[in-house]
């Protein structure tokens, strides 16, 4: 959402999250793809396993959420570091639930979708709004990051389900979730469907897109992937995220200078 006047922009500054623009979604896709490759790098390539990796990423995520809540204003690098931490812990947690606990992709996806909906429902009952632009005080931030964690974990399970259980493969999964995101964009452009609802739908769907893209990059050629280095792919994606954050900061400064 781009502010069109001083009042709207001043309200935007109260939020602890970035403006929701095309650049936001591009950064989010890079971050979710990074979460998949980095999560697999630690749990698989380093042979730490899903449970140990989940504890490591969860500790980092909790520390970053505390820092995010304590911050007085929106801090771009802190925000995106927290998003990255949520998507890496979501990767290893989903893999642990689906594979180690034996719940399976369908069972895991159903459980996690329920948790996302419950989190949004309780958040709305407590705050009266689940808009990302209303994330401007600690309780709202806690709901925001809790919902994000559930959605990131759900996205991993959905991505794995589409590529494996549904038999779409990685390219098929990429086409499926890209098509759904385009459908959400069409609803945004041509209908009056709730923007908050569309935001959360897109937020959830960008995670499985990142999951299947990440798997496509690092899985063996025999499994339909490109067999790229998980560490190398993660490094390239991290650089892309940093470039996007710097670019967004520059755009924000231009917006402020014109007001």
pLDDT averaged over every residue in the chain? 85
Burial class (CB in 10 A: 0-12, 13-18, 19+), 207: buried
**Residue 30: pLDDT above 80?**
yes
Burial class (CB in 10 A: 0-12, 13-18, 19+), 76: middle
Give the rounded distance of the alpha carbon of 254 from its chain centre. 26
For residues 202 and 123, what is the distance between their CA atoms, to the nearest angstrom? 18
9 neighbors 255 (Cβ within 8 angstroms): yes
**Residue 131: pLDDT above 60?**
yes
pLDDT, one tens digit per residue, over 149-191 is: 999 888 888 888 887 777 788 889 999 999 999 999 999 999 9
| Average pLDDT value for residue range 1-29 | 65
pLDDT, one tens digit per residue, over 44-62 is: 888 888 889 889 999 999 9
For residues 254 and 247, what is the distance between their CA atoms, to the nearest angstrom? 11
Q: 5 by DSSP, 3-state: which?
A: coil
**Residue 68: pLDDT above 50?**
yes
| Range ranked top by mean pLDDT from 14-18, 90-94, 203-207 | 203-207
- The residues, ordered by sequence, that sit 6+ positions from 194 with a Cβ below 8 Å of its Cβ are none
Cα–Cα distance list, 210 to 148, 192, 207, 258 (Å): 15, 27, 5, 35
pTM of the complete model:
0.86
- The residues, ordered by sequence, that sit 6+ positions from 252 with a Cβ below 8 Å of its Cβ are 19
Q: Which of 107, 216, 100 is nearest to 154 (CA)?
A: 107
């Amino acid at each position: 959402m781009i502010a069109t006047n001083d009042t709207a922009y001043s309200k935007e500054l109260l939020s602890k999250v970035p403006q929701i623009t095309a650049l936001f979604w591009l950064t989010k896709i890079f971050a979710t793809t990074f979460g998949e490759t980095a999560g697999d790098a630690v749990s698989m390539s380093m042979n730490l396993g899903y449970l140990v990796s989940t504890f490591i990423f969860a500790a980092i995520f909790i520390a970053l959420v505390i820092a995010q809540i304590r911050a007085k204003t929106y801090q771009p690098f802190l925000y995106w570091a927290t998003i990255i931490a949520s998507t890496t812990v979501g990767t290893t947690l989903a893999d642990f639930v689906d594979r180690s606990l034996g719940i399976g992709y369908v069972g895991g996806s159903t459980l996690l979708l329920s948790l996302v909906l419950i989190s949004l429902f309780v958040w709305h009952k407590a705050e009266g709004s689940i808009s990302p632009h209303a994330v401007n005080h600690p309780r709202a931030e806690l709901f925001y990051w809790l919902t994000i964690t559930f959605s990131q974990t759900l996205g991993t399970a959905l991505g794995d389900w589409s590529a494996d259980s549904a038999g779409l493969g990685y390219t098929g999964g990429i086409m499926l979730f890209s098509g759904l995101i385009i459908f959400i964009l069409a609803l945004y452009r041509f209908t009056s469907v709730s923007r908050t609802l569309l935001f959360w739908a897109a937020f959830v769907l960008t995670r499985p897109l990142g999951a299947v893209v990440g798997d496509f990059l690092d899985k063996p050629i025999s499994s339909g992937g490109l067999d790229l280095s998980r560490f190398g792919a993660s490094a390239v994606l991290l650089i892309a995220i940093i470039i996007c954050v710097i670019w967004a900061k520059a755009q924000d400064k231009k917006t402020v200078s014109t007001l």
